[in-house]
Each structure stands twice: as C-alpha cells, then as structure tokens.
Amino acid sequence: LQLANQIAAGEVIERPASVVKELVENSLDAGATQLNIRIEGSGSQLIHVRDNGAGIHPEDLPLALTRHATSKLSSSDQLSQIGSLGFRGEALPSISSVAKLTLISRQADSDCAWQLIPSENTLKPTAHPLGTTVEVRDLFFNLPARRRFLRSARTEQQHILTTLQRLALSRLDIALDCQLNGQQKMVLPAADSDSKQLQRLRKICGSRFVKDAFVIEQQRDLMQLNGWICPAIAHRAHNDIQYFFINGRVIRDRLISHAVRQAFAEQIPAGRHPAYVLYLTLPLDRVDVNVHPTKHEVRFREARLIHGLITSAIRDALRQTMP
Ligand code: ADP
Ligand code: MG
C-alpha cells in the first residue's frame, strides 16, 4: 500500500509546488474563504496551509490519509458531474507517503480541534480555530532520487509563488497570504468588488496588463466566458500572462489555447503575445475533468461549440476596442 501511494505520488507530487496546489485545492473544496500559507526553504523543509473551511470530522481524519477515500464523490454517477477540485482521494495519501504530514482540524460543532498522529494513527485534542491545518515537512525524505531532481530553493520558491498566483486568480473572492522564510511574500485580501479585483490583477499580472486589458463577457448556450484580455502587450515578460479557468479550475488545454490564439491572430500584429485571464463557466456535465491525475487537462463534450464561443467572444471584444 505504501508503495502504491508512492507510485501515485510520483504522478501527482512532482515538487513542493505540487503539494501547495493540492493543499490549497482541498481548502477551496472545503469552502474556505481565508488561506494562510507558510513556506520554509524550498518548500521541502516545510509547507504549512491553514484554512477556515468546513474542517474534517475527527472520525474521518485517519480516512483522509487512506487511498481513494474521498468525501467528494459518493457514487460513480457523480464522476460526470464533478464540481469539486479534488475527487480522486490521492493527494493526502500520496503526500504522506513521501513526507511527514500533520493534520489538524476543527469543525463548527466541536469545541476543540483534533490532531492526527499518522505514525500512531491516533488523535489528540489540540487548540485550533475553525478549519484545517495541514503541515508537510521533509518532502521526499524517503526518496533521495526525487530529492535530487529538485532545483535550487529559489527556483522551487518561484514555482510555489506561481502556483499560488494561479490559484489566487482562479478564486478572486478568497483571501490568501503567503509567508516565505518568515517574510510576507503575498497578501491578497478577498476581492469582492471590481476595484479590488483589479488590485489583485495588478499585483499578479502587473499594472501594464491592468491598464491595457479590457473586459470580456459573453454568454451562450448556458456557457459563460468572462475575464480580461490584453492584445497590445508585446513585452516578452508578459508571455506568461495566459490564464484560463474552467469552472474555477486551472486548465492547460490545447483546444483552448488554439482558440485563443486563433481569435487573436487575425487582430494582432505578428510578434505580439496575447495576455489573458479568462474564466469559462459551463454545466458540469459538459466537461470531463477525470482525464489526468493532476486534473490540468479536460475533455469537452462539445469541443467545437466551446472553441467557437471563445473565438467569437474574443473577436467581438477586440472589434469593439480596436479602431
Ligand atoms: P480529494 O481531494 O481528491 O478528495 P485528498 O487526498 O486531497 O482527496 O483529500 C482527502 C479528503 O480529506 C478529502 O476528500 C476531504 O474530505 C478531506 N480534506 C482534505 N483537506 C481538507 C481540508 N483542508 N478541509 C476539509 N477537508 C479536507
Ligand atoms: Mg484533494
């Protein structure tokens, strides 16, 4: 079983940033509105994520580390209707097979929190506000080969911050802060108004993007595309501002990037790079997220329809702003 978990970890947990992604996604699934993250070293020393979400019932704490024990699906019918970020029940068991994991959680109806001691599989009462803290120490301590593949602390930290930025864009309504080696690296208050959204966008994508970007909003066939696009940016550094979210999930998809590129290609002089932060919302059964363990890839029921929606929404928006 330990081996199976470590093999799964090989797919899901590539580096410290992957742990951060899985933990934050769990917090978001738990309905958290506030996340505090602490990183030490490259993240392989310590990753600490505290949330104010619904918490885990003490009886379920040991279960959370059991392979395929997800609380998010109760039948295979639901596989075609996945609204949560997690559903495979692999992340926590994978992480705990390659690191030292501490889990503390408190639910609303409980007057104390419970801490799981995985090595003894026991619980002890402890003090903790409502919600959950997951602490991951000594990542890959038992897999020296994996450890050797990690890059410098700086590079791994950069991966973590990029991951957090992506997650912070995926949910503008969530407050998130991150401390790196005791220093505040990121403070993002909940963006519950237009101006606060632009503030967050400025912090993550830069003021140039915010200045030049325009709003995109289109609805068709129960699908909705909104966000910001910025055709005018030629700066290479902005190459990276290409974010696409489907139902709140970070997605890297060929169909999507093709559609965006095509929409931009006809309108933008060669050599310029489109920058965008786009959100596609569509009924859950129109997209299959159960394609890959990292869940970055999707399969669409009606690929052509979605391709069309994206290109036409961007073209319309571009036409309105370009002379
Ligand atoms: P998955 O997210 O695919 O269900 P995970 O291994 O990531 O699987 O987590 C296992 C289970 O632990 C989740 O289904 C959830 O019930 C519980 N859990 C994990 N993290 C949290 C959290 N921060 N708050 C509440 N419950 C959590
Ligand atoms: Mg999960």
- Identify the structural domains of the chain with CATH numbers, from first to last: 2-188 (3.30.565.10), 206-321 (3.30.230.10)
pLDDT given for residue 97 in this prediction: 92
* Residue of minimum CA distance from atom 21 in ligand 1: 26
Q: Percentage of the chain with pLDDT > 90? A: 55
Residue recorded with tokens 């104390």: 112
Angstrom distance (rounded) from CA 230 to CA 39: 33
pLDDT-derived band at 212 (thresholds 50, 70, 90) equals: confident
Angstrom distance (rounded) from CA 73 to CA 87: 6
Give 116 Cα–ligand 1 centroid separation in angstroms: 14
pLDDT given for residue 273 in this prediction: 72
The pick from 66, 68, 71, 85 for probing ligand 1's pocket by mutation, whose C-beta has the most ligand atoms within 8 angstroms, reads 71
Number of residues in the chain: 323
Tens-place pLDDT, residues 257-311: 888 888 877 666 666 678 899 999 999 888 888 777 777 778 888 888 889 999 9
In this structure, which ligand is nearest to the CA of 95? 1
pLDDT-derived band at 322 (thresholds 50, 70, 90) equals: low
| Mean pLDDT, rounded, for 241-245 | 91
Angstrom distance (rounded) from CA 241 to CA 202: 12
Cβ proximity of 123 and 108 under 8 Å: no
* Residue of minimum CA distance from atom 23 in ligand 1: 27
For the question of whether the overall pTM of this predicted structure is more than 0.90, the answer is yes
Give 24 Cα–ligand 2 centroid separation in angstroms: 8
| Mean pLDDT, rounded, for 127-143 | 96
pLDDT over threshold 90, residue 99 = yes
Give 259 Cα–ligand 1 centroid separation in angstroms: 34
Give 27 Cα–ligand 1 centroid separation in angstroms: 8
Q: Which of 105, 108, 107 is CA-nearest to residue 116?
A: 105
| Mean pLDDT, rounded, for 123-132 | 96
Q: Rg (Cα) of the chain, in Å, rounded?
A: 20
* Residue of minimum CA distance from atom 11 in ligand 1: 64
Average pLDDT of the chain to the nearest whole number = 89
pLDDT given for residue 235 in this prediction: 54
Residue with the bigger pLDDT between 233 and 259: it is 259
Q: Measure the CA angle with vertex 48, ends 45 and 49; round to 5°.
A: 155
Question: Biggest alpha carbon distance in the chain?
Answer: 68
- The first and second tokens of residue 167, run together, are 């997650």
pLDDT-derived band at 205 (thresholds 50, 70, 90) equals: very high
Instruction: Lowest mean pLDDT of 109-123, 183-197, 260-274, name the range.
Output: 260-274
Give 137 Cα–ligand 1 centroid separation in angstroms: 18
Residue recorded with tokens 């055709």: 231
pLDDT given for residue 266 in this prediction: 67
* Residue of minimum CA distance from atom 10 in ligand 1: 64
pLDDT-derived band at 38 (thresholds 50, 70, 90) equals: very high
What number does the ligand 1 atom closest to the CA of 134 have?
Answer: 23
| Protein residues whose CB sits closer than 6 Å to any atom of ligand 1 | 22, 26-27, 30, 51, 53-56, 64, 70-72, 86-92, 132
pLDDT given for residue 168 in this prediction: 97
The pick from 12, 13, 20, 26 for probing ligand 1's pocket by mutation, whose C-beta has the most ligand atoms within 8 angstroms, reads 26
Greatest mean pLDDT among 112-121, 140-149, 180-189, 203-212: 180-189
In this structure, which ligand is nearest to the CA of 134? 1
pLDDT given for residue 238 in this prediction: 44
**Three-class secondary structure assignment of the chain:** CHHHHHHHHHHHCCCHHHHHHHHHHHHHHCCCCEEEEEEECCCCCEEEEEECCCCCCHHHHHHHCCCCCCCCCCCHHHHHCCCCCCCCCCHHHHHHHHCEEEEEEECCCCCCEEEEECCCCEEEEECCCCEEEEEEECCCCCCHHHHHHCCCHHHHHHHHHHHHHHHHHHCCCCEEEEEECCEEEEEECCCCCHHHHHHHHHHHHCHHHHHHCEEEEEEECCEEEEEEEECCCCCHHHHHCEEEEECCEECCCHHHHHHHHHHHHCCCCCCCCCEEEEEEECCHHHEECCCCCCCCCCEECCHHHHHHHHHHHHHHHHHHHCC
- The first and second tokens of residue 50, run together, are 């505290």
Q: Percentage of the chain with pLDDT > 70? A: 94
Instruction: Lowest mean pLDDT of 155-159, 179-183, 208-212, name the range.
Output: 208-212
- The first and second tokens of residue 158, run together, are 């950069």
| Mean pLDDT, rounded, for 44-61 | 96
pLDDT given for residue 74 in this prediction: 80
Residue recorded with tokens 């973590």: 160
Give 72 Cα–ligand 2 centroid separation in angstroms: 9
Query: Phi/psi of residue 253, each to 5°?
Result: -140, 135
> C-alpha distances in angstroms, 159 versus 20, 50, 82, 193, 196?
10, 20, 27, 29, 25
Angstrom distance (rounded) from CA 107 to CA 257: 41
Q: Measure the CA angle with vertex 12, ends 81 and 117; round to 5°.
A: 100
Give 114 Cα–ligand 2 centroid separation in angstroms: 20
What number does the ligand 1 atom closest to the CA of 73 have?
Answer: 4
